[in-house]
């Protein structure tokens, strides 16, 4: 039986195994040609069940409802092919089924079980890291790293990816020293590792090391030519550093040429990818709070929000869609958006429950914000505590906290504004007075 790069058995021939390793390396490395690598794998080994499973996983990575049938079709192709395969390969199919059905926690539980028996399974490890992140489970991301790292050989190329995940997981747990060391070790092995570059950028963001952050990204960016959309998110991080320094022209330039470049091949191929939409919406919202004229940039986002009404696959993106509709004054579309979300939330999956309990109230708040800030605060207040369950990093969640803070201030609800500042101050190493998004509110409320 053939083996993968980590010595795990694969039910295919050696050529299929090599093509598998190439596709996995593309996935771990955020390479833009990963879909082409998958196509080559399927052509090389059309009867390799796990390869079809991988196709299903890849269809789900973009959190797009239109791709759910592709994921289900891939699982249907994999099922008979995996009949005589290893238990590990069959378990991947069960995880794909669960994830496709809206039960991401069950998919993670299956990947964790795979890793208990096969800690070297890079795919199970990386998918668990990804999905745990989008479920807001920083502690589980860290536990997963700790569970497998002693079983990984530093000689494996994928070990760089493990270090990158260690960096980000520890960073999201507030363990910045360990995080930065792991991220820098990964970059020393591979300066083009985007996830490691990203994890260190988060450390620098959380610690307020803005000059270092800009230098870090500018130094590494030339190595990202073959990278996928994650490189947009790195430019968003660069813009976050510039925003903190009040360099709004630089932020807008990065918006147009770095992370929301509508002419780039990556954006044209996926014009409404969740991470790109989050980058764009959250930055326009932040710029608006600083009184910057962003021109007509909201309109294309609102158009895409309208086209995605009813698609609730990415819970954390939903408030961003709502913010785009609100900023463009599209009240009728906003009402349709909420109705469709409510219909989705009536389902029985864990994703439906998350939308019902957390995403929907925040979307309602975002749409109420321009005309009734007090009602917006009232809608959002019960969901504040569970907001991290939508996924997204501390740096990304911030924009929702700023939405609540703005509405509280505009409605004259000083207790709510103070509550928000206390939450933010308790979780972030920098005091609100040292952060652009909170400094004015902190001053006006006499808050540290
Ligand atoms: Fe980030």
Question: pLDDT tens for residues 113-126?
Answer: 999 999 999 999 99
Is residue 139 one of the residues assigned to a domain?
no
Here the tokens at position 314 are 């990415």
CA of 356 to the centre of ligand 1 (A): 26
Here the tokens at position 196 are 């490691």
Closest Cα partner for 419 from 435, 436, 432?
432
CA of 180 to the centre of ligand 1 (A): 14
> Model-level pTM?
0.97
CA of 233 to the centre of ligand 1 (A): 6
8 A C-beta contact, residue 163 and residue 185: yes
Range of the domain at 295: 283-448
Is residue 77 one of the residues assigned to a domain?
no
Residue 447 banded pLDDT, cuts 50, 70, 90:
confident
Ion ligand 1 neighbours (CB, 5 A) are 393
Q: Computed over its alpha carbons, how large is the radius of gyration of the chain? A: 22
- pLDDT value at 448 more than 90: no
Q: Across residues 67-71, what is the average pLDDT? A: 98
State phi, psi for 96 to the nearest 5 degrees: -60, -45
Residue 237 banded pLDDT, cuts 50, 70, 90:
very high
Percentage of the chain modeled with pLDDT above 90:
98
- Which are the contacts of 46, defined by CB distance < 8 A and separation ≥ 6? none
How far is residue 107 from each of residues 23, 100, 233, 279, 347, measured CA to CA in Å? 21, 9, 26, 27, 18
Q: What does the pLDDT read at residue 261? A: 92
CA of 304 to the centre of ligand 1 (A): 22
Is residue 415 one of the residues assigned to a domain?
yes
Q: Across residues 364-388, what is the average pLDDT? A: 97
Is residue 62 one of the residues assigned to a domain?
no
Is residue 157 one of the residues assigned to a domain?
no
Q: Across residues 187-206, what is the average pLDDT? A: 98
CA of 301 to the centre of ligand 1 (A): 20
Q: What does the pLDDT read at residue 93? A: 98
Compute the residue count for the chain.
448
Here the tokens at position 334 are 């906003």
Distance CA 225, CA 111 (A): 31
DSSP track, 256-297: IIIIS-TTSHHHHHSTT-HHHHHHHHHHHHHHHHTT---TTH
CA of 197 to the centre of ligand 1 (A): 10
Tally the domains of the chain. Answer: 1
Is residue 78 one of the residues assigned to a domain?
no
Distance CA 312, CA 320 (A): 12
Q: What does the pLDDT read at residue 1? A: 85
CA of 171 to the centre of ligand 1 (A): 11
- pLDDT value at 430 more than 80: yes
Cα angle value 320/261/127 (rounded, 5°): 60
CA of 237 to the centre of ligand 1 (A): 7
- pLDDT value at 420 more than 90: yes
Distance CA 168, CA 176 (A): 9
CA of 357 to the centre of ligand 1 (A): 25
């Amino acid at each position: 039986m053939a083996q993968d790069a980590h010595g795990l058995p694969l039910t295919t021939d050696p050529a299929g195994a090599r093509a598998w390793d190439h596709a996995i390396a593309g996935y771990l490395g955020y390479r833009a040609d990963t879909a082409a690598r998958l196509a080559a794998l399927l052509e090389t080994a059309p009867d390799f069940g796990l390869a079809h499973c991988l196709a299903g996983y890849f269809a789900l990575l973009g959190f797009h409802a239109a791709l759910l049938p592709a994921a289900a079709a891939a699982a249907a192709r994999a099922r008979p092919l995996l009949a005589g395969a290893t238990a590990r390969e069959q378990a991947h199919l069960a995880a794909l089924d669960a994830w496709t059905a809206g039960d991401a926690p069950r998919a993670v539980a299956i990947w964790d079980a795979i890793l208990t028996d096969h800690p070297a399974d890079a795919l199970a490890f990386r998918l668990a890291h990804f999905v745990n992140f989008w479920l807001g489970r920083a502690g589980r991301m860290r536990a997963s790293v700790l569970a497998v790292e002693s079983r990984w050989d530093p000689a494996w190329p994928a070990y760089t990816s493990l270090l990158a995940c260690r960096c980000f997981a520890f960073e999201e747990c507030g363990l910045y020293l360990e995080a930065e060391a792991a991220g820098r070790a990964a970059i020393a092995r591979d300066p083009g590792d985007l996830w490691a570059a990203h994890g260190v950028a988060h450390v620098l963001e959380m610690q307020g090391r803005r000059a270092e952050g800009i230098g870090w990204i500018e130094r590494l960016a030339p190595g990202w030519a073959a990278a996928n959309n994650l490189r947009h998110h790195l430019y968003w991080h660069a813009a976050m550093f510039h925003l903190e320094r009040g360099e709004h022209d630089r932020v807008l330039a990065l918006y147009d040429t770095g992370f929301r470049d509508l002419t780039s091949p990556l954006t044209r191929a996926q014009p409404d990818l969740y991470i790109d939409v989050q980058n764009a919406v959250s930055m326009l919202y932040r710029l608006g709070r600083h009184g910057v004229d962003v021109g007509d940039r909201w309109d294309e986002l609102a158009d895409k929000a309208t086209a995605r009404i009813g698609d609730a696959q990415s819970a954390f993106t939903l408030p961003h869609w709502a913010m785009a509709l609100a900023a463009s004054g599209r009240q009728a579309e906003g009402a349709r958006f909420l109705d469709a979300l409510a219909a989705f939330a009536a389902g029985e999956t864990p994703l439906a429950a998350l939308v019902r309990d957390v995403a929907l109230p925040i979307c309602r708040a975002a749409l109420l914000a321009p005309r009734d800030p007090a009602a917006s605060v009232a809608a959002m207040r019960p969901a504040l505590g569970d907001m991290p369950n939508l996924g997204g990093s501390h740096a990304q969640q911030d924009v929702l906290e700023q939405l609540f803070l703005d509405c509280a201030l505009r409605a004259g609800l000083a207790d709510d504004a103070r509550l928000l500042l206390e939450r933010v101050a308790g979780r972030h190493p920098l005091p609100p007075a040292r952060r652009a998004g909170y400094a004015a509110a902190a001053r006006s409320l006499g808050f540290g």
